[in-house]
Amino acid sequence: MYDIIIFVLSIYFLWPLNKYTAIYILGYIISTIVNAVLKAILREPSPQQNKTFIKILETNGKNVEITSYGMPSMTAQNSAYSFAYSFLVLTNNMEYISKFQNIFWIFITIIVGGFGYSIIKNKNTIAQIIVGLLVGILIGFVVYRVGKNKITLTEKKNETNFL
């Protein structure tokens, strides 16, 4: 849930930089797809699934198909992606750096609170959250760099065509 709050805040603060906002949304979709692929490859259940799986095996002796994987944590990954991308965009556009300084602690508070909630409610392990964070930060960095290069090339092309 907190990843949705971070998503909405990112859209709000990136909105004046519309080119970066469009790239952010595309990157969010990419992050979600990468998460699904990693979960299908790693197939590590969330802690809740582990408990259910073990309980059913003990009582019935039957195999149970795991329906929910937790590695990497999608919420952690998408939150880290949103934070990393927003951080890079807003701190590299000097007119918006003061805006980001104002929301930095809001982002951190929501993200850390969300991680704590996920661990307490047994939705993800600490390892699943850490891997989600690392993957999200990596995707945020890559999407920002590729997007910035694309925007720069487009602006140079438009300047050349104008002359």
Tell me if 161 is assigned to some domain. no
Number of domains present in the structure of the chain? 1
State the 10-residue block means of pLDDT for the chain, 163 residues long: 79 82 93 90 70 59 62 85 88 70 73 73 78 93 92 72 54
Predicted pLDDT of residue 26: 94
Q: What is the pLDDT of residue 100?
A: 65
Predicted pLDDT of residue 51: 59
Instruction: Tell me what pLDDT residue 16 has.
Output: 77
Q: Which residue has the tokens 């919420």?
A: 75
What is the C-alpha separation between 124 and 46, in angstroms, rounded?
5
In a domain, 163, yes or no: no
The verdict on residue 44 lying in a domain is yes
Q: Look at residue 83 and tell me if it is in a domain.
A: yes
pLDDT at residue 54, rounded to an integer: 55
Residue 100 sits in which domain range?
2-156
Q: Is residue 152 part of a domain?
A: yes
pLDDT at 65: 59
